[in-house]
Structure formats: C-alpha cells, structure tokens
Amino acid sequence: MPLDQLFITLVHRGKGIGKKLFAIAAHQAREWGAEKLYICAGSAEETIAFYGAMGCREAAEVSRKLLENDPRDVQLEFVL
C-alpha cells in the first residue's frame, strides 16, 4: 500500500513528528506482514539524512520505472 508523501513543514521539523510518523508506518506494515518498507525519496540532503537516521539503506532492488520517472530520487529500504 503506497504512502504518497511524508513531509514535515520547516517550522515543525526537529520536533520528532517525522520519526513518529515513520514509526507508525513501520508498525502498521509489520502488522500487515510486510518485511520491508520501500522508499523512493527526493534527493534533498535533509531527506536522505532523515531516512538514514531512521535506519534506511540503499534499496537492494531498484525500480526501473521509478528511476525513469525521476532519476534524482533515491531508492531506499527499511527492513522491518
């Protein structure tokens, strides 16, 4: 099930909101029996740093379709 975007406005960053939302998404995915979260993240340094801090790593399987859609995006995964 896709989650279209996870975005926290600048004024609300640093309050743990993104971490909490990510944790909720991971918990729900585990409940549904998923093994990984697959993330197609924008290439902004802050975005990559956030997902890295959450424990995400470069995706083992890259989606060619998503890569063709926006080659600047970074494809990551989070093992549940």
Q: What is the pTM of this model?
A: 0.86
Name the pLDDT band for 1 (thresholds 50, 70, 90): low
User: What per-residue confidence (pLDDT) applies to 9?
Assistant: 92
Amino acid found at 79: V
Domain borders along the chain are 35-80
- Mean pLDDT of all residues in 52-76: 91
- Mean pLDDT of all residues in 67-73: 87
* pLDDT tens profile 7-52: 899 999 999 999 999 999 999 999 999 999 999 998 889 999 999 9
Q: In sequence order, what DSSP letters do the residues of the chain get, joined into one string?
A: ---------GGGTTSSHHHHHHHHHHHHHHHTT-SEEEEEE-S-HHHHHHHHHTT-EE-SS--HHHHHH-TT-EEEEEE-
